[in-house]
Amino acid sequence: MILNLIQKFMPAKKMIDMFTLKVTSKQSIELIAANVQEACDKYGFALLQTYKYHEIVESKGFPIKRKVFIYEICKAKTAALMLTDNANFSVFMPCKLAIYEENNKTIISTMNMGMMLQAVRSNKELYDDASSLFSKLESLMNYLSTC
């Protein structure tokens, strides 16, 4: 019922924008992609997996006209705190970082964790740690945008 109400008054694009955090860069996607490991190291994230999604979907017979890289990154301490507090958070793990081309620019994007942070506000250690993670992820994205 609430979802229907939200959908009635909020356009789909606005809803997607509400759940994502984006940084725009004039740097080439190749240059940004080449710096992801270094940025993860700099900001204390483990780079778990890299997907060249444009190549994956093309190999399945569905070529697309833009490059899309998706990275799975993690801060193990925060993940452990989250999963200890509430295993339902597992569907949001690991953190995703997407880099894609749009309108001759490179977009660096992730899930906007702001609303989910409110769900753990009662656990101060977890809230502080997860807030710090989100802040560092934003810094990582801004760093990548200027590489």
State the architecture of 19-146 in CATH terms.
Answer: 2-Layer Sandwich (3.30)
* Inter-axis angle of helices 2-9 and 12-19, nearest 10: 110
Are 49 and 68 within 8 A, CB to CB?
no
Cα 2 to Cα 10, 89, 92, 118, distances in angstroms:
12, 21, 21, 18
- Of the ranges 18-22, 58-62, 122-126, which is most confident? 58-62
pLDDT for res 10: 67
Domain residue limits, the chain? 19-146
| Mean pLDDT value of segment 71-85 | 93
**pTM greater than the 0.85 cutoff:** yes
Mean pLDDT score across all residues of the chain: 91
